[in-house]
Structure 1
């Protein structure tokens, strides 16, 4: 177990993973959601903490946007996505009166909520807690890392797209991890080629290999490429589980491989 003994609501959480991206729109929430579903597929109990306060998209991706958050003696009870309670979720999306409400807050108020999310959600026993962060390296990231530091997080997963502008932003994210002492689990290159649903040919719309090259130059693991796949988009739009309902998706083996590598890193032998 990677936690300190007196961890409060996080004492039953074995592994904490932060998902970071240098810029918006690279599919960070998509990767967070799909890895959570793949870990569930592997028999693990998973929590997702959505600290992207201005763009909380994960409730929609897991078809849980109409659920309510309740209080218990030890804080907030997370929303359970499935009847087996194998995926639990906490997001500011559940605390807004209307789904279209904008979070127009200054930094201190955002940071206070992030600290409350870290300490006051009653997760129970979890194999993995995945934390979906906002884009960039802002005040909110420092608050998140500082609040989690006592619980010895497993590390950060960095998401990029192949083109140079996105890779450059992830380079800054690597510097952030170094400065805050956060281990980098690896880099994932998302939207890495478009898979035609008719002929299954893969076209590199955004060039290719930028994430892999950055991982090589930085000496951090490269976990794999996830292609642009209409079936993946469809599963997220409909709030369905890609791993269960779209096993023929081109993204399926990529997500499975990335998840296997995370499980290997989390095993006691490694």
Structure 2
């Protein structure tokens, strides 16, 4: 009878999901000996590395899974660590089974969020869009490609008490990105030394290599959407992303101001020159309504419509996906690391970002000229 219960415990424990790798422990070969005697289940598991940041959660989930099996009244969990050979085999298995990151034939949609200039709220918008898409049930990844001006970890609350973002867990040369609000996130800020204000002073080749490593050495798993927070302008990173991801879709962010709109068009033009398609335009910092009902347009109006019109042609219409109003809640969410779509879902800016996320999720990219990822039985 104990052997039967032990088999049930093994099945229950094997189904527990590793929170970093997002796969069952049984599939990852992390389950070890299981013995049941006098209603006491002793369960052995092997973590991937020493000091695994998810160790406590995995142990608790294993304990709960084993305790749920009829015939088990007490659970003891023995926690060990994989040997270097076991870990290497796991890394190779992960690399071998995952689709190469974000090729043209991948099922993952890659969406670059761009702007012609800085200061238009592009990163804040990107972080909130990522969370809004995750809240819709999509598997979402986020790359902070704004290497010189990285801010995504802070916007998503991925910082410790000293303001430092967590480092990714490493399995040999494979990196597991931290997760915030359901969004798997990677940023250069996670690799810099613990200084008060770390800065990155890199030129083209280093920037290209960093973006390339984010795309190939970070294990995002199977994603529905990968968002890329691009640096402002049309410099080295924009060119690198265009070369590495020519099939990516682009969302151009502008403010209503005419001067900003004129510059924003350039980022869309460069995206097209690398073969990328323009998904739409988002106008940020749009007018808002005062308590007395008066509309207040601090930065004027019409910039988003102007950019969409300038990027449209006789054969392609670029839509204005939405206009996000200036909002104190949106700003405060960025300062505290709680995205407005989570912290203030009824705020006008939050509702508009959710509407934009819905528009993006509802848009289907064309598979014309691409091979479908299927095989013969």
Deviation of residue 195 (structure 1)?
4.1
| Residue 208 of structure 1: aligned partner | 301
Residue 200 (structure 2) aligns with: 103
Contact in 2 for aligned 1:9/1:74 (Cα 8 Å): no
Tell me what 2:275 maps to.
Answer: 181
Are residues 267 and 141 of structure 1, via their aligned partners in 2, closer, same or farther at CA, if it must alter by over 3 Å?
closer
Gaps spanning 5+ residues in structure 1: where? none
**Alpha-carbon spacing, 1:200–1:88, altered in 2? closer, same or farther (3 Å):** farther
Residues 148-173 of structure 1 deviation map (CA, whole Å, 9 limit, x = unaligned): 23xx32x0000001111111111211
Query: What is the alpha-carbon distance in structure 2 between the residues aligned to residue 44 and residue 96 of structure 1?
Result: 30
- For the pair 1:156 / 2:250, whether they are aligned, the reply is yes
Post-superposition CA distance 1:81-108 (Å, at most 9, x none): 14xxx21100001001125111011221
Asked if residue 139 in structure 1 is aligned to residue 231 in structure 2, the reply is no
Q: Is the 8 A contact 2:120 2:284 kept in 1?
A: yes
> What's 1:263 paired with?
361
TM alignment of 1:194-205, pairs within 5 A: 194-196=288-290, 198-199=291-292, 201-205=294-298
- Contact 2:207–2:236 (8 Å) recurs in 1: no
Deviations 1:13-60 (A, max 9, x none): 621100000000001101101111110121112111001011110100
- Over residues 92-141 of structure 1, what are the superposed CA-to-partner deviations in whole Å (9 max), with x where a residue is unaligned? 01001125111011221111111111111100011111000100001111
Mapped to 1, the partners of 2:365 and 2:265 lie a distance apart of: 28
Once the 2 structures are TM-superposed, how far is the Cα of residue 200 of structure 1 from its aligned partner?
5.6
Scaled by the length of structure 1, what TM-score is found? 0.89
Q: Please name the residue that 1:121 is paired with.
A: 218
Q: Residues of 2 paired with 1:105 and 1:210: CA distance?
A: 33
2:178 aligns with one of 64, 73, 79:
79
Q: Which has the higher contact order (CA 8 A, sep 6+)?
A: 1
Q: Secondary structure of the residue that 1:226 maps to in structure 2?
A: strand
Q: Could you report, residue by residue, the CA deviation over 1:56-85 in whole angstroms, capped at 9, with x for unpaired residues?
A: 101000010331212125621111114xxx
Residue 236 (structure 2) pairs with residue 236 (structure 1)? no
- Equivalences, count: 259
Kept after mapping to 2: 8 A contact 1:9/1:120: no
> 1:252 aligns to what?
350
The separation in 2 between residues aligned to 1:211 and 1:28, in whole angstroms, is 14
Which of 176, 186, 189 aligns to 1:90? It is: 186
Q: Distance in 2 between matches of 1:184 and 1:77?
A: 30
Distance 1:159 1:226 in 2: 10
Root-mean-square deviation (Å)? 2.2
Q: Unpaired segments of 5 or more residues in structure 2?
A: 1-96, 160-164, 313-317, 368-377
Partner Cα separation in structure 2 for residue 173 and residue 267 of structure 1 = 20
Does residue 22 in structure 1 map to residue 116 in structure 2? yes
Cα deviation, residue 228, structure 1: 0.4
Which has more radius of gyration?
2
**1:227 corresponds to which residue?**
325
Contact 1:114–1:144 (8 Å) recurs in 2: yes
